[in-house]
Amino acid sequence: MHIVMMTNTYLPHVGGVARSVSSFTEEYRALGHRVLVVAPELAGASEREEDVVRIPAIQNFNGSDFAVVLPLFSDLTSALDQFQPDLIHAHHPYLLGMTALREARTRNLPLVFTHHTRYEYYTHYVPMNSPALKRFVVELATRYANLCDLVFAPSESIATLLAQRGVKTPIEVVPTGIRLERFRSGNGKRLRQALKIPENAFVVGHVGRLAPEKNLKFLAEAVSVFLALHPNAHFLVAGRGPCEAEIRSICAGKQVADRLHQVGVLVDQALADAYHAMDVFAFTSHSETQGLVLVEAMAAGTPVVALDAPGVREVVKDQDNGRLVATEDEAEFIAALDWVYVLAPMQRQALEEAARQTAARFSLPCTAAKALSCYEKLLAGRPLPHTQEEDEAWEQILRRIKTEWEIVRQMAEAAGMALASGEPLVKDKV
């Protein structure tokens, strides 16, 4: 098959979508399929990428680590003509997702969409964030899904959520897989020594993009209290993002900053070593659709303590491979960490083995095989033509979003001009 992946985030960006696209692409190619990745330009990207078309983009949009593609790029059409795709797989409903929809329609190709992200948790990256904007992005993703021929949901929870929101397109649960062998072996002792963490210390770890939507303020507050209660406990954080300083500040406030270890972005063997250096992996995000780092940690035999949320509850089984905390309560989360902390060696071994068995269900060869099977079924049947009413509904939602954006932009500009003038917004009565 000739498969086109269209994504707004790709390597070297560190994040779940970029890793999902790169993992599936690598596996598909290993199995003899051709894959063309269409993604934004990004600083640090390799100049020798295989079958990757880079689209001009605005870097570090609104202070984030995301790039926003520019709408016009004539070379893409010729690249697709040369590649001769069998189907197009979109990984976002906007920007390049809209390009994917247009190209699929123009070329009469099946369009697959993976709903990777709970977009309503990311609207804070847009100026003048509002509840109305959150509703719009949910409706946008739902409408987009209904214009596709097949939707991949990374977890059962997300499949259920999409159906509740009104997605009528067939939905298949296809998690992102990992290469288990990359995480099964790691030298945690080496990393501990490099960070001067004692061999007998209890290490709480976290890996991921350090951004507000990951609920890291709650994580840092809970873990810093846990560290204050246990002088031999340390906090290992791998990743970059706007919350780095906040994590340091919270730990400093609890006088445990000397036991916080922020190591930046880790990849390959260094990442595996980090998971093996941890005694427990702590996770508090509500915004996940799968939580790939949970599977990676478990592949290393590291149990997880996490808040119950979609995409998380499919991986973490309470008191089997970790602890699943029902509510966002700091005392309960700390108690769950304590539960792991006091385990006897035999109990600890059983927890680690259960974690490894869970990770085995998410091996990349298995998840890629399911995705390819779905592609083949889609190509074997003839995708039903989409109706004019569907296309008109899509255009309507885009017009509504454009209108809302213009209103917000005009308000922001007016307020900015008023403040810049130095004049009071309301004149005092004399």
Q: With bands split at pLDDT 50, 70 and 90, how would you rate the model's confidence at 149?
A: very high
Q: With bands split at pLDDT 50, 70 and 90, how would you rate the model's confidence at 408?
A: very low
Q: Flag whether 318 is in a domain.
A: yes
Domain CATH number, residue 123: 3.40.50.2000
On whether both 219 and 286 belong to a single domain, the answer is yes
- Picking from 362, 381, 398, the residue at the C-terminal end of a domain is 362
On whether both 223 and 237 belong to a single domain, the answer is yes
pLDDT at 137: 77
Q: Flag whether 430 is in a domain.
A: no
On whether both 399 and 332 belong to a single domain, the answer is no
On whether both 217 and 342 belong to a single domain, the answer is yes
Q: With bands split at pLDDT 50, 70 and 90, how would you rate the model's confidence at 429?
A: very low
Q: What does the mean pLDDT of the chain come to?
A: 86
- Order of strands across the sheet that contains 202-207: 260-262, 233-238, 202-207, 280-283, 304-307, 322-325
This prediction's pTM: 0.80
Mean per-residue pLDDT, 214-242: 97
Is the preceding omega at residue 12 within 30 degrees of 0, hence cis?
yes
Q: Flag whether 199 is in a domain.
A: yes
The parent domain of residue 305 ranges over 181-362
pLDDT at 232: 98
Rounded to whole angstroms, how far apart are CA atoms 193 and 273?
Answer: 11
On whether both 108 and 173 belong to a single domain, the answer is yes
Q: Flag whether 352 is in a domain.
A: yes
- Order of strands across the sheet that contains 2-6: 52-55, 34-40, 2-6, 87-90, 111-114, 150-153, 171-173
pLDDT tens, residue by residue, 291-322? 899 999 999 999 999 999 989 999 999 999 99
Q: Please, are residues 1 and 375 in contact by the beta-carbon 8 Å criterion? A: yes
Instruction: Indicate if the pLDDT at residue 263 is higher than 50.
Output: yes
> Which of 113-127, 266-280, 376-390 ranks highest by mean pLDDT?
266-280
pLDDT tens, residue by residue, 380-406? 986 556 666 666 665 666 565 555 454
- Dig out the tokens for 398 from the structure: 């885009």
Q: Flag whether 425 is in a domain.
A: no
Instruction: Indicate if the pLDDT at residue 275 is higher than 80.
Output: yes
Q: Flag whether 164 is in a domain.
A: yes
Q: Flag whether 348 is in a domain.
A: yes
- Picking from 340, 362, 384, the residue at the C-terminal end of a domain is 362
On whether both 281 and 413 belong to a single domain, the answer is no
On whether both 208 and 275 belong to a single domain, the answer is yes
On whether both 171 and 190 belong to a single domain, the answer is no
On whether both 7 and 152 belong to a single domain, the answer is yes
pLDDT at 419: 39
On whether both 109 and 241 belong to a single domain, the answer is no
Residues with Cβ within 8 Å of 268's Cβ and at least 6 positions away in sequence, in order, are 182
On whether both 172 and 317 belong to a single domain, the answer is no
Mean per-residue pLDDT, 78-97: 93
Instruction: Indicate if the pLDDT at residue 26 is higher than 60.
Output: yes
Q: With bands split at pLDDT 50, 70 and 90, how would you rate the model's confidence at 418?
A: very low
On whether both 224 and 99 belong to a single domain, the answer is no
Domain count, the chain: 2
pLDDT at 138: 82
Strand segments, DSSP code E, in 330-426 are: none
Q: Flag whether 424 is in a domain.
A: no
pLDDT at 33: 98
pLDDT at 381: 86
